[in-house]
Structure 1
Amino acid sequence: MNKVSVTLRALLKWEHLILGTDILPRQRVSSILAGRHYSMMRGRGLDFEEVRNYVPGDDIRNIDWKVTARTKKTHTKVFNEEKERPALVLVDQSSYMRFGSQNYLKSVIAAEAAALAAFRTIKKGDRCGGLVFNDDTMDWFSPRRSRQAVLQLLKSVSEHNAILLNQKHIKNNGLQLEHSLKRIANYITHDYILSIISDFSQCTVNGYKLIRKIAQHNDVICVHIEDELDLITDKNNMIISDGEKQLFWKKSKSKVIQSEKQDNDGLKDKLNTLQRKYRIPVIYLNTQQTLEDQIKSIFKSR
């Protein structure tokens, strides 16, 4: 696979690659098997099925006190997990994603992460859709339970990636992520799973508000694609090379360096706030390692 671009054929490998991981927890949030800490994810919702006699081991919180009082015998409510949770994948393929100082461009890692999320969704029997955007356009795909739906989504991802690769100039359209979130917020209802895959460099204040709004009744996962150079604040006299050509980064004024530091620190602060205060999971991916190795490492540590 080309490290600076991605094709539909390359994305299809994720359909057959078994990682042995799952973004969603296998137990419900309140399950006794969930451990001492509550999951950041809601898991599937619950549908009421019936009322039956209470047996030792049933959760006392599910006791139906009205039926118990009427029959003089303890009864409990029984619930079934909902059969599906629709998933949406929001994929950033804008100009700022055409960057990577190591092995991959951010746009490539984002495209692969989208493929992983989409194929995991339909293999679990849920509907999958999404939105792919660049600096000028956005493609919307309503959630459907079929492999063809995923192929259409990933075809759009690969096409946007090709446009990005051939683009000669960076376009500064910082409202595209916000507009994409508005489109999803107007469609989504409740109990959806939304994966936002971006470097979040162009996420506005209103964009973060929309993320928090959507997360009130749905599960939102922020997948942050970052590069080592994003974390470097002192870029004085830095030389960048691709092995053939060199770019000399001239010494910048202290105000510019301070501004870059604030931007980088501010982005991490916003993402940390989403995770800590609003219980929205943030997954950090980089441009150094393969996505497969990163996913295995993330879920092994958890």
Structure 2
Amino acid sequence: MQSSADDAIRVDLAGLIDMRHHVREVPLFSTTHRRSALVGLHHSKLRGRGVDFDQVRVYQAGDDVRNIDWRVTARTQEPHTKLFHEERERPIYILVEQSRRLFFSSGRVFKSVLAARAASLIGWAALHHNDRVGGLVFGSGEHHEIKPRRSKQSLLQLLQRLARANQRLDSLSTLGTDSFAPALRRVREVLRPGSLAVIICDERTLNEAAEQQLSLLSRHVDLLLLPVFDPLDHALPAAGLLRFAELGARLDLDSHDNALRQAYQRQGEERSNRWQRLADRLRVPIMPLNTQYELIEQLRTHLLQKVLR
């Protein structure tokens, strides 16, 4: 999934739709022939959509005689009964950030692009699994919400909102007030117990208010955390004098200062550790995404690590 220079900076609806071709490359959800490392997330609850035929086994005392498979019984000359399992379904709600905070990269793609592609891939995977898909795009004081439905049209509406929000990002747009905690509060209002909320946001977005909302949300729904970061968020290169400017303000940093670089690195490590501590405390999976690596490869690596644990 190589990207041109423009594709690394912004996404469009066509590109997000194309993500559907990569669904089979990453087993995010279990199928009849393949179990995902996230199986505990998706099959921990049963939803009463009906029942599906599962298999046939030898009849045992106490089995419902109405479920006897007479064709197999006649062929084997031994009573066999049909087994069924309740169909599993749950709303999957994708909360994805598109704020100026993500309009940056020193790696392969902008953080905003990586977040958008991850949201699209998960959306297509959920739809492929016959789940209801919805979500909320937040950032820069805006919220665009799509209620979960089991339809391609619902996912396309979400992706269209996502592409529009991404296209509006630029380095001059205002960051605005904290929108992560209010977005999480909204998720708590709309999701019923047993739903799955996928959280895709900048690693730097987590604060006390958001952490509290995530803790409350985890009491009723399952969570999957995907904080997005750039290598420059964690380590400052020794590149001499670095000058930053924003809305008339200017900041000069001497990156040859070892103490400065170490303090910067500690801050980056603490942000990552805070997410990990939160995931451990809430007992939810976390899959950090790095702009330096390709999305599919990262997700495969995370899933493999979960299998090996």
Cα shift at 1:124:
0.8
Partner in structure 2 of residue 115 of structure 1: 120
For the pair 1:159 / 2:156, whether they are aligned, the reply is no
For the pair 1:294 / 2:289, whether they are aligned, the reply is no
CA RMSD of aligned residues (A): 3.4
**Amino acid corresponding to residue 195 of structure 1 in structure 2:** V
For the pair 1:209 / 2:251, whether they are aligned, the reply is no
User: 2:279 pairs with 275, 288, 301, which one?
Assistant: 275
For the pair 1:192 / 2:195, whether they are aligned, the reply is yes
**Amino acid corresponding to residue 156 of structure 2 in structure 1:** L
Partner in structure 2 of residue 46 of structure 1: 46
Q: Is the 8 A contact 1:236 1:249 kept in 2?
A: no
Partner in structure 2 of residue 11 of structure 1: 16
For the pair 1:263 / 2:270, whether they are aligned, the reply is no
Cα shift at 1:25:
5.2
Cα shift at 1:293:
2.5
Partner in structure 1 of residue 137 of structure 2: 132
Partner in structure 2 of residue 97 of structure 1: 102
Q: Is the 8 A contact 2:106 2:230 kept in 1?
A: yes
Q: Is the 8 A contact 1:44 1:82 kept in 2?
A: no
Give the whole-Å Cα distance in 2 for the aligned partners of 1:7 and 1:118: 16
Partner in structure 2 of residue 231 of structure 1: 234
Partner in structure 1 of residue 253 of structure 2: 250
Give the whole-Å Cα distance in 2 for the aligned partners of 1:255 and 1:171: 29
Seen in structure 2, the aligned counterparts of structure 1 residues 21 and 251 have a Cα distance that, compared at 3 Å, is same
Seen in structure 2, the aligned counterparts of structure 1 residues 134 and 151 have a Cα distance that, compared at 3 Å, is same
Seen in structure 2, the aligned counterparts of structure 1 residues 9 and 171 have a Cα distance that, compared at 3 Å, is same
Partner in structure 1 of residue 73 of structure 2: none
The residue correspondences of 1:19-34 to structure 2 (distance < 5 A) are 19-24=24-29
Give the whole-Å Cα distance in 1 for the aligned partners of 2:15 and 2:173: 26
Partner in structure 1 of residue 223 of structure 2: 220
Seen in structure 2, the aligned counterparts of structure 1 residues 238 and 151 have a Cα distance that, compared at 3 Å, is farther
Partner-residue secondary structure (3-state), 1:195: strand
Q: Is the 8 A contact 1:19 1:296 kept in 2?
A: no
Q: Is the 8 A contact 1:135 1:176 kept in 2?
A: yes
5+ residue gaps, structure 1, are 28-32, 59-77, 241-247
Seen in structure 2, the aligned counterparts of structure 1 residues 34 and 113 have a Cα distance that, compared at 3 Å, is closer
Select between 124-133 and 258-267 the one with higher mean Cα deviation: 258-267
Q: Is the 8 A contact 1:235 1:249 kept in 2?
A: no
Give the whole-Å Cα distance in 1 for the aligned partners of 2:124 and 2:47: 26
Q: Is the 8 A contact 1:90 1:196 kept in 2?
A: yes
Q: Is the 8 A contact 2:46 2:88 kept in 1?
A: no
- Number of residue equivalences: 265
Identity rate of aligned residues, in percent? 25
Select between 231-240 and 287-296 the one with higher mean Cα deviation: 231-240
Give the whole-Å Cα distance in 2 for the aligned partners of 1:293 and 1:42: 22
Cα shift at 1:42:
5.7
Seen in structure 2, the aligned counterparts of structure 1 residues 40 and 146 have a Cα distance that, compared at 3 Å, is closer
User: 1:143 pairs with 142, 145, 148, which one?
Assistant: 148
Give the whole-Å Cα distance in 2 for the aligned partners of 1:15 and 1:170: 32
**Amino acid corresponding to residue 295 of structure 1 in structure 2:** L
Seen in structure 2, the aligned counterparts of structure 1 residues 138 and 284 have a Cα distance that, compared at 3 Å, is same
Give the whole-Å Cα distance in 1 for the aligned partners of 2:36 and 2:13: 37
Partner in structure 2 of residue 183 of structure 1: 186
User: 2:175 pairs with 158, 161, 171, which one?
Assistant: 171
Seen in structure 2, the aligned counterparts of structure 1 residues 82 and 212 have a Cα distance that, compared at 3 Å, is farther
Seen in structure 2, the aligned counterparts of structure 1 residues 257 and 290 have a Cα distance that, compared at 3 Å, is closer
Q: Is the 8 A contact 2:42 2:196 kept in 1?
A: no
Cα shift at 1:80:
3.6
Cα shift at 1:131:
0.3
Q: Is the 8 A contact 2:47 2:88 kept in 1?
A: no
5+ residue gaps, structure 2, are 52-58, 64-82, 244-250
Question: Structure 2 length normalisation: TM-score?
Answer: 0.74
Cα shift at 1:21:
2.6
